[in-house]
Chains A and B, each alone.
Chain A
Amino acid sequence: MARTRAKPATARAPAPPYVPLRGHPLNEEEFRGQVGSTTWVPRLEYAWDAGVAISRFLDGLREGKIYGVRCRRCGRTVTPPRAFCELDFKPMDEWIELRDTGTINTFSICYVTWDMKPLRVPQIPAVIEIDGTSPRVGFLHLVGGVRGRTVTEIRRQVRVGLPVRAVWKPPAKREGAITDILHFEPVRKRANR
């Protein structure tokens, strides 16, 4: 059992505040070995309602379709759909089937998990703007179908403004989930479709 070794630290530099600052920094070992420390492992489980608009969006994904909604007031077309336009406070109930192609608004190449464990094969999150939606209406998804693991290799194939197309799960495996789209992959020419 570690003893309380932490000594109060004081100001290092002749700068204000002129009264010494208080606090007892611990290193990792001391932190885990403190006599009075307690742990708690809560079980925080939730069941979140998907809601009206997203439920219908998910049904569409299972059929291999990307649905959007349009605001009758401002004319904005957005996906994922929402029940009301947050700018006009009007119902967004005009449903539109969109294409499954779009453009990369921005992307990243992520080499760590949320708890900062290294990832050998990076994830490529991106904001995708689906064709047919209003300008600057994007949503989060992943980019795939890209060779290589390094920043240089990936940046050679992925860039802001790149046209992409959804890669779907086989119909039998779809669940009505955002992951029914496996990822978006670069397309050479939009005219191909």
Chain B
Amino acid sequence: MSLIKRKPQRRVAVIGAGLSLFMRRALDTGKELAYYAASQALQTAGIRLKDIQAVVMATAPDAFDGVHMKGEWLLDGAGGVGKPYLRAYVGGGSGVFSIISGWMMVASGLFDLVLVVAEEKMSSCQPHPQGAFLTIFDHTIERPLGPNLLWIFSLEQQRYMAAYGIRNEDIALVSVKNKHNALAHPAAQVAAHLTVKDILDSDVVAWPVHRLMVSPISDGAAAVVLASEQVARRLSDRPIWIQGVGWCLDTSYWGNRDLAYPRYVEKAAWMAYEMAGVTEPRKQIHVAEPYDPFAYKELHHLEGLQLADRGQAPEDLARGRFDRTGELPSCPSGGLMGVGNPIAAAGLMKICELFWQLRREAGARQVPGNPERGVAQAWGDLMQIGTVAVLGVR
């Protein structure tokens, strides 16, 4: 059965992208961060705010910034004053969901130019943003056990390792690769040249997860400008097309899922691939930006995205397949592990990276060859959503 009813009529392109720095603690307010990214996206698209017809803002729980209804609070920094404005929110999946939401606005014919902004300022939350995260655990049957957010990730990683006989050394290599890739990213917060030994010598926070296998707490913003085909061709000589989008949520009873394999990511990916006309992802996808808030997640997601066999992503990684110069570069940006993890902004940063990579403008980060199609993916809510976007040069 087809995952989509019919292909959308109108094509949608990304014509501009912008970022703020990603930082552990920013002086700048969330609005100011949003402005930096949004104004840069407009500038690179060669348009002004008055040209924008609608704005999508993605930002994760209000409790991080400590501002209730922060979508509305961020309005002016996102350029949404006096315009149709939508907050897109599916937890960690929000960054890629923002472009899906913007795509719907343009593909539907409602608007021709939409600004998509994502922001997070997690440093406000004291003593640790986990205080807000804790409420994702069920109040009656989980929170009395004294849970810690790291639990669900370490439990999932352990199941993944146990199911396929994966060693922690294989997973630590994700941290090494991404932190190294991020050395060439101007927004990067935690870029470093490290070895597998450095990663495994860092403290065990929740075995099998070591401290350097966890992305940092970050403040930052990202933005892109979306345009309809007609407008994109007029404004840009190198529009990057959104060829397909997909998203899917699995059950909220996370203990009832197969923790070794994200089948909801697979469903979301096939929805996007089907729309994009991709039948053989490993041949037709040339660059990938899977979501990597924890080291193992990149591997998990590469498998869900059909870019590696189940349980084989670690082996592919070890033989260099996902290196920037490898057969299928994965997280050439440096990802969340290297650039940083301002939740929603981190997901949209991945879209920005595809935009630059596919335009062959990525400079020191540019993947070799002529990449024509890329996939970006984010993940979140209660470890249950996959949000996927396929972008390409035509």
Interface residues of A (CB under 8 A from B): 4, 6, 9, 11-17, 19-28, 30-31, 34, 39-40, 42, 46, 48, 50-51, 54, 57-58, 78, 80, 82, 86-87, 105-116, 122-123, 125-127, 136-142, 151, 155, 159-161, 177-179
Contact = CB atoms under 8 A, between A and B. Distances in A.
B256 A24 contact: no
B21 A107 contact: no
B183 interface: yes
Contacts of B22: 23
Given A19-B44, A106-B155, A140-B145, A114 B252 contact: no
Interface of B: 17-28, 33, 36, 40, 43-44, 66, 123, 126-128, 130-131, 133-134, 137, 139-142, 144-151, 154-156, 158-159, 162, 183-188, 203-209, 219-220, 251-253, 255-259, 352, 356, 361-365
Contact of A108 (B146, B206, B220, B364): B206
Given A12-B186, A105-B259, A136-B258, A113 B148 contact: yes
Q: Which of A17, A26, A46, A110 has the largest number of chain B CB atoms within 10 A? A: A17
Nearest to A51: B140
B128 A110 contact: no
Contacts of B186: 11-13, 15-17, 20-21
B257 A108 contact: no
Contact of A58 (B28, B123, B140, B148): B140
Contacts of A86: 251-253
A51 B139 CA distance: 11
The 10 closest A-B pairs by CB, nearest first: A23-B21, A11-B186, A108-B154, A15-B363, A106-B159, A24-B27, A160-B162, A109-B207, A110-B206, A138-B255
Contacts of B187: 21
Contacts of A110: 148, 150-151, 154, 205-207
Given A127-B155, A151-B204, A25 B144 contact: no
Contact of A25 (B23, B141, B145): B23
B134 A114 contact: yes
B23 to A, nearest CB: 4
A27 B25 contact: yes
Contacts of A24: 23, 26-28
Contacts of A125: 145, 147-148, 151, 154-155
Given A17-B17, A140-B151, 12 more contacts: A11-B186, A13-B364, A17-B18, A17-B352, A22-B28, A78-B253, A86-B252, A109-B204, A116-B205, A125-B148, A137-B255, A151-B204
Nearest to B140: A50
Given A58-B140, A78-B256, A86-B252, A179 B362 contact: no
B356 A16 contact: yes
B17 to A, nearest CB: 7
A108 B203 contact: no
Contact of B142 (A39, A137, A178): A178
18 contacts: A15-B186, A16-B362, A19-B40, A19-B43, A21-B19, A21-B186, A25-B25, A28-B25, A42-B66, A54-B141, A86-B251, A115-B131, A116-B205, A122-B207, A125-B154, A140-B141, A141-B145, A178-B144
A14 B363 contact: yes
Contacts of A82: 253
Contacts of B205: 110-112, 116
Given A22-B20, A50-B140, A114-B128, A17 B134 contact: no
Nearest to B162: A160
A140 B255 contact: yes
A179 B145 contact: yes
A1 to B, nearest CB: 15
A142 B207 CA distance: 14
Nearest to B35: A22
Contacts of A161: 162
A94 B330 CA distance: 48
B158 A108 contact: yes
Contacts of B128: 114-116
B21 A25 contact: yes
A151 B206 CA distance: 10
A132 to B, nearest CB: 15
B278 to A, nearest CB: 26
Contact of A46 (B139, B148, B208): B139
Nearest to A82: B253
B151 to A, nearest CB: 4
Contacts of B145: 125, 140-142, 178-179
